[in-house]
Structure 1
Amino acid sequence: MERSLDTQVTQAVDAWLRWVPTWTPATYKGRGAPCRRCLGSPVLSAAGVGSDVPHGVQHGLSTRMKSIVDRAVASYTERNLPLLQVELDQQSARNRARSYRPRENLDPEYEGLPLDPEPVPGAPFLFTLEGMAGEEEVPSLPPLSHEAKEALRREIALADEYANLVGRELCSLLLAHRLRIQQAVAQHVEPQVEAMLAELTEALDTPFGPDDLLPGG
């Protein structure tokens, strides 16, 4: 029996709460561009996770919530949208044809993030994971008629509409978890951020090491 949306949200929040105590600033990866999954996310807003919370902490929660929506839409598509389901099955077959799939089986905290670090000017990579994953030849999808394309567009619109419906319900369910989510951030994340800022402030206040202060140093 399929779990209710309420149960899925509760279990996902519980899993995130078990992970939060393991987060440290050292695991936080800076980004050259905003994360489209987290920036302005209504899910994070419903959860009470502000923009001042480190992105790694935000991403772990928003990704878990996205997985719930994705599963709901996949089930709806399988039951009601045959043309879209065929397209998705064909795309899955193409993905399985790739022998190297670095995006699979990632922990929620890393799903959707860039596979490679930001390049350093003047120090090009010998290879990248993105590049290696994109080098393989995979079969092309069969062409669609104009009528089939129009029908597929209608089914995609229905899937998007259903995703928005599930997303809104998920946000309303998250409101019941705001307090324990915010308590976890206050207990496990904010002290580490404050300690890091204090260390940075101290370093800026005393830019010279002890040896630099000695005469002739």
Structure 2
Amino acid sequence: MERSLETQVSQAVDAWLRWVPRWEPATHRGRVAPCRRCLGSPVLSAAGLGSDVPHGVQHGLSTRIKTIVDHAVAEYTSRNLPMLQAELDQQSARNRARSYRPAEGLEPEFEGLPLDPDPVPGAPFLFTLSGLASEEESQVPSLPPLSDEAKTALRREVALADEYANLIGREVCRVLLHHRLRIHAAVVEYVEPQIEAMLSELSQALDAPFDPNEEIGF
């Protein structure tokens, strides 16, 4: 398991390193709500990506690492937790019954992010992707109810899955420590120059708020 995780983490970091040179700072209005996947993430701490690194750069790595943990937990569940696996299979079948699934098949850099931009006061949306997806989901039949005994057993298996996820997460963070130098070097080479250029441009705009060739009348 350890060797396999090391290989998977190394491949995830390699993929992230290939993507980082294509990253560009976002030019649109930032979101108000923080990303629940990245805020306080031990994965990002192990990778050395602190709060001074743009969220887009963080998210591209945290999502790739989360996929590794999710796959490990899925394999553990399929082998050891039959009731939870049955519930997940039913939920998967229910999801496949929806013809509109905008959150699926996204690139790692966009996976887990809100489907729609933050609303602007006084400018309501005609429709939203999340709203369309909710309408589609409401038309799919709900899962059958569980007995009290089944609920108790299911909670027990969910707790075991969470425990295993924490175990894999800690191991993944340990492996990530060995990649910190590679990750830091990529940030220095590709990310920091773009941030410095933005700050320089902003500083020049603040120092010269008016066009020097424009006549100012009083």
The question of a shared fold, defined as TM-score above 0.5 by the shorter chain, is answered with yes
Please name the residue that 1:87 is paired with: 87
1:29 Cα offset (Å): 6.6
1:2-47 Cα deviation digits (max 9, x unpaired): x811100000000000000000113677221111111111000000
Aligned to 2:203: 201
Identity of aligned residues (%): 78
Segment of structure 1 superposing worse, 158-167 or 18-27: 18-27
Q: 2:216, 2:61 → 1: CA distance?
A: 53
Unaligned runs of 5+ in 1: none
- The residue aligned with 2:167 is 165
Q: CA deviation at 1:216?
A: 3.2
Aligned residues: 214
Displacement, 1:211? 4.6
TM-score calculated relative to the size of structure 2 = 0.95
> CA-to-partner distance for each residue in 1:44-75, whole Å, 9 max, x for gaps?
00001111100000000000000000000000
Closer, same or farther: CA 192–99 of 1 in aligned 2, 3 Å = same
TM-score of the aligned structures, taking structure 1 as reference length: 0.95
Instruction: Name the residue aligned to 2:181.
Output: 179
Please give the per-residue CA displacement for 1:86-111, whole angstroms capped at 9, x wherever unaligned: 00001101111111000010000000
Task: Report the CA distance between 1:139 and its aligned residue.
Answer: 1.1
- When the two chains are superposed, the root-mean-square deviation of aligned CA atoms in Å is 1.4
Point out the more displaced range, 25-34 or 179-188: 25-34
Residue 52 (str. 1) matches residue 52 (str. 2): yes
| Residue 108 (1) aligns with residue 112 (2) | no
Equivalent positions of 1:4-153 (< 5 A) are: 4-26=4-26, 30-136=30-136, 137-153=139-155
Q: Residue 210 of structure 1: CA displacement?
A: 3.1
1:101-143 CA-to-partner distances (Å, cap 9, x unmatched) read 0001000000000111111111111100000011021111001
Q: Which runs of 5+ in 2 are unaligned?
A: none
Q: Distance in 2 between matches of 1:187 and 1:130?
A: 37
Runs (4+) of structure 1 moved beyond 6 Å?
none
Contact 1:28–1:54 (Cα < 8 Å) also in 2: no
Closer, same or farther in 2 for the Cα pair 1:28/1:45, shift >3 Å?
A: farther
Residues 12 and 142 (structure 1 numbering): CA distance in 2 closer, same or farther, change over 3 Å? same
